[in-house]
A = this chain, B = another copy of it.
């Protein structure tokens, strides 16, 4: 399989969302034009995105909604449960844990960790906060994904810890880039930086979007 750009993967996520809406409304087939219109892209782009993963749909008949949805779920790794742990029992972590969309997509938050003795052992969104120093040696089964929601200056140490214990994917909310081995995927979400792209666009009305 060819290497796929992250922007393609994001569009596949978006197509899946539309397909699920179509499914809920009982629509049986969909054209690349409809998907393109919903996703703010072109039908050529839709066909190109899907072609990376084989041949879907029939010329003139469009795509079968349930079939394409199910194939996209498989491509995106959504056909199974993913074990997620949150490191950092703060506001960001709380918003994530309480976010319905995660569980619906198969992302189960199975544990939360912190290093603050004032919160360790306490209930937090239905979970008991664990001591981060026990990560990897306590009875929690190895997670697939770790959410790093700690202050920037602690983020690399947390990344090192979870990587040492075999975690291969990190969702990083700390405003610090993480250095990890090549076989570990990191996705950084920085809220202040998202707002800064907006303030930039307000003072410089010439920004060109290249990632959505």
Roughly how many angstroms separate A54 CA and B170 CA in the complex, as a whole number?
A: 36
* Interface check A140, CB cutoff 8 A: no
**Closest residue on chain B to residue A10 by CB atoms:** B193
Contact A9 B200 (CB under 8 A): yes
Interfacial chain B residues near A192, Cβ < 8 Å: 13, 99, 101-102, 105, 107
Roughly how many angstroms separate A12 CA and B196 CA in the complex, as a whole number?
A: 10
- The binding surface of chain A is classed by DSSP as mixed
* Interface check A166, CB cutoff 8 A: no
A13-B193, A75-B200, A196-B9 are contacts. A3–B207 as well, Cβ < 8 Å? yes
Interfacial chain B residues near A207, Cβ < 8 Å: 3-4, 6, 9, 185
**Distance (whole angstroms) from the CB of A203 to the closest CB of chain B:** 4
Roughly how many angstroms separate A9 CA and B204 CA in the complex, as a whole number?
A: 11
* Interface check A142, CB cutoff 8 A: no
Interfacial chain B residues near A128, Cβ < 8 Å: none
Contact A105 B195 (CB under 8 A): yes
> Other than the known A99-B191, A169-B201, what 8 A-B pairs have Cβ atoms closer than 8 Å?
A3-B208, A10-B193, A13-B197, A76-B196, A77-B200, A84-B195, A91-B99, A187-B212
Instruction: List, sorted by A's number, 22 A–B pairs whose CB atoms are closer than 8 Å.
Output: A4-B204, A4-B208, A6-B208, A6-B209, A6-B211, A7-B210, A9-B200, A10-B193, A13-B192, A75-B200, A75-B204, A77-B199, A77-B202, A78-B196, A84-B195, A105-B195, A106-B199, A107-B195, A145-B202, A170-B198, A187-B197, A189-B191
